[in-house]
Structure 1
Amino acid sequence: MAPTYKDKPSGALISFNGKWISWAHTIVAYTAFISALVIGISLHYHKIVKNEHYGYPDEWFPSVSATIGDRYPERSFFMFFIAITSGPRFALVGLWYLLTAKPGKALPKFIAGVGLFRTLTCGGWTYVTSTDDHDWHDIFMISYLLATIPWKYGCITLSPPNAKAIKYRKYLAGGFFGAIPGMIYFFIQHKVHRIAGAYTTYSFFEWSLILFDVAFDAVTALDFGTFEIVIKDIGGLSQGKNKLPVSTMVLEKEKAKATVGVFDAKFSWGEAFDTAAEVYHGFVFWSMLTSLGVVIWYFPLWYMGISGYEALVMSTISPLLLGIKPVRSLVINNLRACHLLSLSGLLAWLVKDPVYRLFTVGFGVWMACLSWAATLFSANVHEVRLESKILAWTVGLVVSSTAKFAWWTNNPIWPIMHAENGGKNDIGLALAVLATLRFSRKAPLNSGIGKNDKQGGAPSFLAALGIGGLFFGMHSLLSDTSTMILWVWDGYPVRGPLSAPHGWFTVAAMSAGLLTGVLRPKLVSTWSAYGVGCIGAAVLTSYPRWFGYYGALTIAFYLMAVAGPLLIAAAKENPAMTFGLGFFIYNIMVLFHVWVVAYAFVPGGPLVREHTDWVMTSMMVLIGCGVFNLTSFNSLHRNTTNRRRYSVSQHRKYHTFALGLINILFLASAYFRFPTNDYQPYHADSRVLTAGIWTIHFSLDNDMWSSEYRMRDLIKELEVDVIGLLESDLQRIIMGNRDTTQFLAEDLGMYVDYGPGPNKHTWGAALLSKFPIVNSTHHLLPSPVGELAPAIHATLDCYGELVDVFVFHSGQEEDPEDRRLQSEYLAKLMGSSPRPSILLSYLVTQPLKGNYNTYVSDISGMHDVEPSDWDRWCEYILYKNLQRVGYARVSRHTITDTELQLAKFVVPSSESEKAGVARMEADQRLRDRRVSEDQVPEGWRFPALFRGQGVRGHRYHVFDEPWYYKPE
C-alpha cells in the first residue's frame, strides 16, 4: 500500500504530499490579484477605473493592469504575493515534468521549457508595469499569452489517465481561449471606436483569463497526489512502469482524441527538419506563383492595354509535358535538379530589366509547377509520403499568407522586393536552396512508367476541373488575409473586420480546415460539406460587414479542407491531365476574374463586366466536379484501412506543430501591428490641413519595384495630413493581392478608408487621414460604357470641426458620356453637403472647359484651388468653406506616372473666421490673391526640402515653387 502524505519516510526531515504545491500556487496567486483588486477599489476606485477616454460612471470596473500596476499600496501587495508565487510555480513546473517524462519522449521537455518561459515572462509583465515601460510590459505580456497556447495544449496531451483532471483541463482551457475573442472585440470597441463602457466589459474578460489560467494549473493537485515530497514518485507514472488497466485505456483514448493524437509518436529531429524543409519549399512555390501576376501586370500598365506579355500567365501549364513518357521519366528521375531550377524565380530580383525579370519568374514558375506535379505523382503509391507532400504544399500557402501579413501584404522574397523596400531576397534564397536539397533527398517511389500510363478519361478530367477551381480559390481568396476582409469593407464607422488584427481569423479558419481535411477526408469530401462551402461563397459575394466575413471564414475552411482529398485524387491520375489541364483551367479563371474589372481594355470584356458572382459560381462548379470525382474515388477505396499508423502520426504531428507555430507568429505580428489611433496632424497649432491627391499606379514604380517605402517618405516629408490615393485597389491575382494602404497608414500614423472593395470592380480610391474619420460612404458613379468611377465621401473631425472630403476617379477619356454623367452626380453629391469640403480627384478634363464647369459650379458650391494652373489634365483639388493658404505640385520622379498635388487649408474655428471665409469665397479677387512665402506664418508653409533640385528626384515643379494665398 502506498504511503499517505502523513507517513514520513525513514530518514526524511520533512514529508508532504505533492498536491500542496498546487494548492500553495493557487492560493498565493489568487491572493496576489484579489488583494490588489480589493485594496485598489477601496482606496483609488475612481482613478483605477479611468482610462484615456472615459471615467466613472461610464467605466466602473478596473482592468488587471490598472489594478496591479498603477498605484501604491495595491501594486506592492500584488508584487509581494506574486513573488511568493514564484517558488510554488517553479516547483509545479518541475513536478509536472517529473510526472510526465517518459523514455524517448521529447514533448515533456518542451512543455517544461514552455512552463519555465511562462514563469519568467510572468515576472516580466508583473514587475515591469505599463506605467514603467509600456513597450516591455506588452512584450512580456504577449509572450506569456502566446506561450500559454502550447502550455495548455501540452498539459492536456500529457495528462495522466485521470478522468476528472482531463475534464477540468478541457473545460478551463476552453474557457480561457473562448474569452480571448471577446476580450479582443471589446478592446477594439474601446481603443478604435472609443465606446463608453467597452473597457469595463473588456476588463471582465481580462479578469476571467486570470481566473481560468490559475485554475487550469490548480488541476495539477489531482495529479500530484501520487507524489511525496522528498522527492519520490510513489505512483510510478513518471517512468511509465505501471501497466494501465482497461478503464484507464479508455481515458487515454479520450485524451488522444482531445489532442488529435498527433503527439503519440516519438520525436525525431530528422523528421522535424524534413517538415521544416517541406513547408518552406511549399512557401517558395506559393511565393513564386503569387509573384507572377505582379510582374506581368507591370506591362499592361504601361501599354494601357494588352501588351503581349500576358501570355506568360501560361507558365503554370508545364505539367502537360508529363504526358510525354520520356519527359515524365526524365523529370521524375531528376526531381532535385528540377526543383533547384525552379528557384530561378527567387533569383529574379537580381535582374534589373523588367522584361528579363518577367521571363526569369516565368521560367521559375514553369519549373515549379512541373516539379511539384511530378513529385506528387511519384509519391502516389505511398499514402504517407503523398499526404506529407500535400501538407507541405498547403501549409506553405498558410506560411505565405502569414509572411505577407507581417510585411504589410508584400512577400519579402518577391521579385518586386529588394533591400531598399523591405525585401529579404538573399536570406529567402539561401533558405530555399537548403530546403530544396532536404526536400528532394528521397528517391521517387514511382518512376512514371507503368500502369499509370493507362489512366485518364472521366476521372482525370473531373480531377483537373477540381484542381483548377481549387487553386484559383486558394490563390484569389486565401493568398492574403486581407483580401476577403476588404470584400466586406463598407466604410466608417467600422462595422466589420479589419485587416489588422482580424486577419488571423482567416488563417485560423485555413488551419482548422486543413487539419480537418487530413483527419476526416471522407467527411469533407461529401456533398453536404460542398453545400456548406457554396453557402459560404454566396454569403461572401453578397453581403458586407461581419455577416459577409462569416461566409469568408466558411469558404476559407472549406477550400483548405477539401484541398487534401482533391490533390490526393489528382495525384493518382495522369498528371498531364490533372495538373496540366488543371492549371490551364486555373489560368482561364485568373483571366476571367481580371476581365470583370478590366472589361474596358480587353477583348470580350463587356460580356463579363462586373460579374464577380459569375467568377465565384464558376469556381464552385469546378470544385463540385472535383467532389463528384471524389465520391467515386472514395467508393473505390472504401475498404482501405489506415496502414502505417505510426508514420502517419509522425508526419501529421510535425505539420500540426508547424501550423501551430505559424499561427503563433501571425498573432505576434498582429499584436505589433495593432493600430494605436492616437494620430496627430503636423501643424495643429495653426489649424492647418494639408491635403493631397496622388495616382499611385498600383504601387509599382517605373522599374517594377514595389513603391510603398518611397511613397511613404515623400508623403511624410511633405507633411501631408489628408491624402487621396487613386489606382489603389491591388486585391486581385494579377496585382499580387496587396494593399498599399495598410503599410502607409500604419507607418505614417493615419486612419484609412480603402474605398470600394475588390468586388466592386473599380481600379480603386483610398483615403488616408491624420484626422479621425467619423463617417464614410462609397459610391460607384454612373458608367454605362466605360470603367467604373469610384468615389469616397468621408466626414473628418478636423480640430473639432466636421469637414467633408471627397476622393474621386473619373472614367477614361474615350467615354465622354460616362464622364458627363459622373460630373453631374458628383456635383450634386458635393452640393448636398453644407460643411467645409475638399475634393481630391482625377477628373480627365481641361481647366475651365467642358465638365470642369460642372464640378466647379453653383450646384457643387466648390472652388478650384488654383484656376490659373493651365497645365493640369487629370488631378484637381476643389474646396469650399475653408481658407485656402497654399498650393504646390511635386514631381513624382520614378515612383509613378503622375505627380503629387497639394493644397493647404486653415480650418476656421470661430463664427467670425467662418464669416471671413464666406466673404473671401464670394469675392474672386480676394479668393485668388497670392502673396510671397515670407508673408504667411511658418505653419502655413510647404517644406523647403523640395525647393530647387529637391531631394531624390522630387521637387516643386511647373511653377518651381509653392503658391500662397492670404486675404487682405
Structure 2
Amino acid sequence: MAPKYRDSDVVATLNGKWISYAHTVVAYAAFLGALTVGIYLHYHKIVQNEFYGYPQEWFPSVSATIGDRYPERSVFMVFIAMTSGPRFALVTLWYILTRRRNSTLPKFIFGVGIFRTLTCGGWTYVTSTDDHDWHDIFMISYLVATLPWTLGVLALSPRNPTALKYRKIFAGTFFGTLVPLIYFFIQHKVHRVAGAYTTYAFFEWSLVLLDVAFDAVTVVEFSNIEIVVKDTRGITRGTGSKAVVDAVLEKEKEKDVGEVFAKGFSTMELLDAAADVYNGFMFWSMLTALGLCVWYFPLWHMGISGYEVMVMCTVSPFLLAIRPLRNLIIRYIRIAHLLSLSGLLSFLAKSPENRLFSAGFGVWMACLSWAATFYAERSQPHRLEARASAFCLGLVASSIAKFAFWTNNPIWPIMHAPNGGWNKVGLLLGTLAILRSTRTTASSLGDIPAPGPNKGSSTLLGLGLAGLFFAMHSLLSDSSTMILWVWEGYPVRGPLVVPHGAWTLLTMGLGLVIGLFTPELASSWAFYGVGSIGAAVLTTSKHWTGYYGALALALYIMALAPVLLSQAARCSPAKTFGLGFMIYNILVLAHVWVVAYAFVPGGPLMREHTDWVMTAMMLCIGCGVFSLAGRPKNLTPRKYKGKKHPAARRQRSYYLYILFALELLAVAVAYLRFPSYNYTPYHAQDKVVTAGIWTIHFSLDNDMWSSEYRMRDLLKELEIDVIGLLESDLQRIIMGNRDTTQFLAEDLGMYVDYGPGPNKHTWGSALLSKFPIVNSTHHLLPSPVGELAPAIHATLDMYGELVDVFVFHSGQEEDPEDRRLQSEYLAKLMKETPRPAILLSYLVTKPLKGNYNTYVGEKSGMRDIDPSDWDRWCEYILYKGLKRTGYARVSRSTITDTELQVGKFVVGQPEGGNEIIPESQVKPGLRFPAMFKGKGVRDHRYHVFNEPRYYV
C-alpha cells in the first residue's frame, strides 16, 4: 500500500536509483583514479614486484596501485570514504526491499552487507605496511563475506529477468575469474614466471570491477522506489518541532529461487544442523586418532606390541544385532553419544596406555552411536538424509581443521595446550552439540520400519561401507594425502599442499552436493567407472595427471556416501555397519602391511602392493553399488504439490549453508597459509650453511604427544639452514595422515621436499632448506629383502653456487646385503655429481668399518665431517667441495629416540683439514649457539664431546 501523506508535507523525494549510481561512480572513481595517478607519477615503481620490473611486468596490481605511495593512496582513500555513505544506503535499501515476515535470510544478508562494508574500510585504511596481519585479516574477511552476499542477493532478488540475468553474469564471471587469478599468482610466486604477475593483475582488477558491477544492478529495482522526506510537524513551515525521514518501498512478489529461505527459515534449525555436523566432526576426529594412538606402541616396541588389537574398536555395531540392546541404545541415544566423548577426554590421561584405552572406548561408542542413529532415522528419509549429510560434512570439517592446523587435528589425544591443541574447546562444543543434536530421533518411541520394499543385500552393503569408510579415511581425511601421492620433487610439476589442498576440499563438497541432488547418478555404474578410473590414475600416475585422478576419486567417494549410508540404514545395522567396519579394519591393516612388511607376520605377501589395496577398496565399493541397484526409487523426502516437501527443502538448505561456510574457510586457510618464499639463511653475511640430520620417529615423542612444536624450537635455536628428516612419512591411517614438514617449513621459513610419497612404501625422508631447491630427484635404493631405503638428491642454490644435498635412510641391520647394495648405489650417485655436496644420512654402520669405506673415500669422493668420532652407528654427515668449520651432537630430550647432528660449512672455500681449534679462534657467525653448552635448555645440550668442535 502506498504511504499516506499530504503533498504539502513532502519536503523532498529521491529516486532510489541515484543511490546505486552514486555508489558505482564513486567506487570506480576510487580505484580508477588511483590507477590513473599511479601510472602517471610512479609507473615503473608500481609495476615492480619482488622478482621482476618493467618491461617484463608492465601493468600494476590493485594492491601496488592503492598502497603506500602518495598521492594515489590519498586519492583512493578519499573516494572510498565517499563511497561509504551510498554503500550503507544501498545495503539498507536492499534489506527494506527484500524483508519478509518470518524470514531470517534478509536480516542475515543485511548483516553480511554491513560487515563487508566495515571490513572494506579495514583493509583500505590499514595497509600491509601499517600492519600486515590486520590488513590480511580484513581482506580475507571481506572476500569470505562476498560469497554469502552474492548468493543471498541472488536468492532474494525480486522477479526481474533483466536484473537476474546481469547478476548471474557478473557473479559467475567473478567466481570464474578466481581460478586463473590463483593460477597466475602461483606462476608468479612459486615458479617465478616473468610477466605472470601482470596477467594476475588484470584478473585482480577484473574482480574489483565485477564486484562493483554486481551491486550496480540494484539500479533496476531501486528505480521503482522513492525515498521521501516528509515534514510531519510543520517544521519547514515554522509550526512543528520534529522532522522524520521515511523510506517507502513497494513490495515485490516472492520468487522460486528464494522461496525455500523466505518462509520459515529458522536460526534454531540452523543450529540443529550445525550441531549435527559437529557431531560428525567429532566422530572423524576420534576415528582418525585411534590408529595414531595404536601406532605409538609398535613404534616404541619395534614390533608387534599387543595393543594393536585396539583397532577393532570400530566393530561395536555388531552389538546392535541384539534387539533389546538395540532398542535401548536407540531410546537413549544421547547417553551413547555422550559416552563417546571419552575419546576427546583422553588428552587428560598422562599415561600413553590410558590415553589409548580412553580413545578406543570413544571410538567404540561413536561407531555404535552413529550406526544406531542411522538405523533409528530410517523411517524418515529427510531426517536420514540430514544425518548422512552431517556424517559427510563432519569429514570435510575434520579435513579443514587439519588443513588449518598443519595436518594435526586440534582435538586429537596427541594434542594439548603446549603443542597447539584445542581439546577443552572441542570438548565443550562437543557436549553442547550432542545435547542439541540428540533431542529426538524418528524411532525414539518405537521401532518404525523403513518405507518401501528392501531388496538390497545386507552383506554387499556392508562390503560397500567398508570400501567407503576406508576411502574416506585413507584418502580424504587430510587434504594433502593424495597431493603427496603424486609429488615427485622440484621443479614443481604438479599440485602443492598449499594452496591446492583447498581444491581437494572443494571437490569433496561438490561431490556431496551431487550425491544429495542426483542420487541416481551417484549410485550409477557409469559414475562408479569414473571413480575407478580416478583410483587407477592416482595409483599409477604422478604430477597433475595423477592429481586429476585423485579429484575424480574424491568427487565420486563423497557423492556415493549419502546414498550408500541411507540404503545401509534400511537393513540390520549389525549386518551393514558391523560388517562394514570389520572389513574396513582388514583394509586398514593391509594399508599398513604394504610398508611394514619387514615387521609383521605374512608381511612379504603384501610388500609394496598399494595397488592391491586400492583394487580391493574399489571392489568393495562396487559391491555396495551392486546392492544399490535394488533400492526403492522413492527414498527421497515426501513430495508436496509435485515438489519436494518445503520442510525437507528447508532442512537441506541448512546443511548446504554449512558446506558453503566450510568451503569458504578452506579457501581462507589456503590464502593465509600460502608461503612467502622470501627465506633468508641465518648467517648470510658469512656464507655459512648449517646442516643437520635428525630421525624424528614419526613426530611422536616419548610420551605420545605430537612433537612439531618442540622440534621447531630446537631447529630455530640451533639456526639450522638445511635439515634432513628421516622416518618422516606420516601419510597413512596408522600415523594419522599427517605431514610434519608443513608446519616446520612454514614456521621456520624454509623450502620443503617431502621425499618419496606414501605410495612409495618407505618410512620417509624429507628435506627442508632456507636455500631455494633448484632440482630434486627421489630414489628408492636396492632393497631385495628388507625395508625400502629412500633418498633425496637435491640441488640447492647456496649464495649463488649450486650445491647438492643428499638425504638418505639405509636399510635395517638385519639385512646386510641390502645395506651393501645401497652403499654402492649411493656412493656412485655422490661420485657422479661435479658439484659440492653434503650427505645427511642414516647409514647403520660403524666408523671406519664395512660399508663406511664405501660411503667415505674414493668410491664416493666424500669426506666424513669428523673421522675421529667413533661413537656413531646410524647418523652421519659427509661432504665434499665445501669448507667444514664445525660439528656438534645435540641431545634429543624426549622428542625422539635419536640425537640431532649438525655441521657448519662455508660455501666457496676449499675443504680444509682436520685440525681442531678452540672456539675463540672462530668468527662469531661461524659458532654454534652458546645456549646449549653445559646443561643446555629443555634437556637439549651438546653431548659426546660436551661442546661443539671447530676445524681449520
Normalization by structure 1: what TM-score? 0.93
**In 2, Cα distance between equivalents of 1:409 and 1:853:** 40
Shift of 1:587: 0.5
* Residue 161 (structure 2) aligned to one of 153, 160, 163: 163
* Residue 631 (structure 1) aligned to one of 629, 632, 639: 629
**In 2, Cα distance between equivalents of 1:640 and 1:114:** 33
Calculate the aligned-residue CA RMSD, in Å: 2.2
Q: Percent same amino acid among aligned pairs?
A: 68
Decide whether the 8 Å contact of 1:329 with 1:447 is kept in 2. Answer: no
- Match of residue 173 from structure 1: 171
**In 2, Cα distance between equivalents of 1:764 and 1:689:** 24
Q: Which amino acid aligns with 2:250?
A: G
Report whether the alignment pairs 1:957 with 2:940: no
* Residue 236 (structure 1) aligned to one of 244, 250, 261: 250
Decide whether the 8 Å contact of 2:638 with 2:645 is kept in 1. Answer: no
- Match of residue 930 from structure 1: 916
**In 2, Cα distance between equivalents of 1:517 and 1:492:** 37
- Match of residue 249 from structure 1: none
**In 1, Cα distance between equivalents of 2:453 and 2:518:** 27
Shift of 1:17: 2.1
Q: Which amino acid aligns with 1:693?
A: I
Decide whether the 8 Å contact of 1:275 with 1:392 is kept in 2. Answer: yes
- Match of residue 380 from structure 1: 378
- Match of residue 366 from structure 1: 364
Q: Which amino acid aligns with 1:166?
A: L
**In 2, Cα distance between equivalents of 1:623 and 1:522:** 16
- Larger mean Cα displacement after TM superposition, 634-643 or 823-832: 634-643
Structure 1 879/31 Cα, relative in aligned 2: closer, same or farther at 3 Å? same
**In 1, Cα distance between equivalents of 2:451 and 2:69:** 77
- Larger mean Cα displacement after TM superposition, 823-832 or 547-556: 547-556
- Match of residue 810 from structure 1: 810
* Residue 445 (structure 1) aligned to one of 443, 454, 462: 443
Residues 541-589 of structure 1 deviation map (CA, whole Å, 9 limit, x = unaligned): 1222222212212211111111000000000001000000000011011
- Match of residue 150 from structure 2: 152
- Match of residue 587 from structure 2: 589
**In 1, Cα distance between equivalents of 2:659 and 2:360:** 29
Q: Which amino acid aligns with 1:703?
A: D
* Residue 944 (structure 1) aligned to one of 925, 930, 933: 930
Decide whether the 8 Å contact of 1:332 with 1:444 is kept in 2. Answer: no
- Larger mean Cα displacement after TM superposition, 561-570 or 434-443: 434-443
Report whether the alignment pairs 1:88 with 2:86: yes
Structure 1 719/774 Cα, relative in aligned 2: closer, same or farther at 3 Å? same
Partner SS for 1:904: strand
- Match of residue 523 from structure 1: 521
Residues 416-474 of structure 1 deviation map (CA, whole Å, 9 limit, x = unaligned): 11111111112211221121111221155166758689999961011101100000000
Structure 1 316/748 Cα, relative in aligned 2: closer, same or farther at 3 Å? same
**In 2, Cα distance between equivalents of 1:94 and 1:734:** 54
Structure 1 931/234 Cα, relative in aligned 2: closer, same or farther at 3 Å? closer
Decide whether the 8 Å contact of 2:594 with 2:609 is kept in 1. Answer: yes
Residues 873-908 of structure 1 deviation map (CA, whole Å, 9 limit, x = unaligned): 111100000000111111111111111011111111
- Larger mean Cα displacement after TM superposition, 402-411 or 669-678: 669-678
Decide whether the 8 Å contact of 1:789 with 1:808 is kept in 2. Answer: yes
Shift of 1:399: 1.0
Partner SS for 2:630: helix
Q: Which amino acid aligns with 1:768?
A: L
Partner SS for 1:512: helix
**In 1, Cα distance between equivalents of 2:561 and 2:779:** 37
Report whether the alignment pairs 1:773 with 2:773: yes
Decide whether the 8 Å contact of 1:265 with 1:646 is kept in 2. Answer: no
Decide whether the 8 Å contact of 1:274 with 1:439 is kept in 2. Answer: yes
- Larger mean Cα displacement after TM superposition, 458-467 or 628-637: 628-637
**In 2, Cα distance between equivalents of 1:938 and 1:233:** 73
**In 1, Cα distance between equivalents of 2:263 and 2:310:** 46
- Match of residue 667 from structure 2: 667
Report whether the alignment pairs 1:618 with 2:616: yes
- Match of residue 923 from structure 1: none
Structure 1 212/456 Cα, relative in aligned 2: closer, same or farther at 3 Å? closer
Report whether the alignment pairs 1:68 with 2:82: no
Residues 338-365 of structure 1 deviation map (CA, whole Å, 9 limit, x = unaligned): 1111111111111111112111111111
- Match of residue 247 from structure 1: none
Decide whether the 8 Å contact of 2:455 with 2:630 is kept in 1. Answer: no
Shift of 1:181: 2.1
**In 2, Cα distance between equivalents of 1:34 and 1:636:** 56
Q: What 5-or-longer segments of structure 1 have no aligned partner?
A: 245-251, 921-926
- Match of residue 785 from structure 1: 785
Decide whether the 8 Å contact of 1:315 with 1:366 is kept in 2. Answer: yes
Shift of 1:311: 1.0
Report whether the alignment pairs 1:464 with 2:450: no
Question: Residues 174-573 of structure 1 correspond to what in structure 2 (within 5 A)?
Answer: 174-230=172-228, 236-237=250-251, 252-253=255-256, 255=257, 263-445=261-443, 459-573=457-571
Decide whether the 8 Å contact of 1:226 with 1:234 is kept in 2. Answer: no
Q: Which amino acid aligns with 1:114?
A: V
Structure 1 407/451 Cα, relative in aligned 2: closer, same or farther at 3 Å? closer
Structure 1 265/781 Cα, relative in aligned 2: closer, same or farther at 3 Å? farther
Q: Which amino acid aligns with 2:669?
A: S
Q: Which amino acid aligns with 2:164?
A: I
Decide whether the 8 Å contact of 2:886 with 2:927 is kept in 1. Answer: yes
Q: Which amino acid aligns with 1:742?
A: Q
Shift of 1:954: 1.1
Decide whether the 8 Å contact of 1:377 with 1:446 is kept in 2. Answer: no
- Match of residue 746 from structure 1: 746
Decide whether the 8 Å contact of 1:32 with 1:77 is kept in 2. Answer: yes
- Match of residue 681 from structure 1: 681
- Larger mean Cα displacement after TM superposition, 646-655 or 879-888: 646-655
Shift of 1:78: 2.1
Decide whether the 8 Å contact of 1:332 with 1:448 is kept in 2. Answer: no
Decide whether the 8 Å contact of 2:891 with 2:943 is kept in 1. Answer: yes
Decide whether the 8 Å contact of 1:381 with 1:446 is kept in 2. Answer: no
- Larger mean Cα displacement after TM superposition, 614-623 or 578-587: 614-623
Structure 1 265/531 Cα, relative in aligned 2: closer, same or farther at 3 Å? farther
Q: Which amino acid aligns with 1:659?
A: L
Partner SS for 1:951: coil
- Match of residue 757 from structure 1: 757
Decide whether the 8 Å contact of 2:527 with 2:556 is kept in 1. Answer: yes
Decide whether the 8 Å contact of 1:121 with 1:144 is kept in 2. Answer: yes
- Match of residue 924 from structure 1: none
Report whether the alignment pairs 1:889 with 2:889: yes
- Match of residue 241 from structure 2: none
Shift of 1:70: 3.3
Decide whether the 8 Å contact of 1:227 with 1:234 is kept in 2. Answer: yes
Partner SS for 2:457: helix
- Match of residue 248 from structure 1: none
Structure 1 457/610 Cα, relative in aligned 2: closer, same or farther at 3 Å? farther
**In 2, Cα distance between equivalents of 1:453 and 1:115:** 44
Decide whether the 8 Å contact of 2:104 with 2:262 is kept in 1. Answer: no
- Larger mean Cα displacement after TM superposition, 825-834 or 566-575: 825-834
Residues 295-350 of structure 1 deviation map (CA, whole Å, 9 limit, x = unaligned): 10001111212211111111000001111122212222221111111111111111
**In 2, Cα distance between equivalents of 1:880 and 1:537:** 44
Decide whether the 8 Å contact of 2:102 with 2:263 is kept in 1. Answer: no
User: What is the aligned length?
Assistant: 933
Shift of 1:638: 9.5
Question: Residues 650-661 of structure 1 correspond to what in structure 2 (within 5 A)?
Answer: 650-661=650-661
Residues 721-776 of structure 1 deviation map (CA, whole Å, 9 limit, x = unaligned): 11000000000000000000111111111111111111111100000111111111
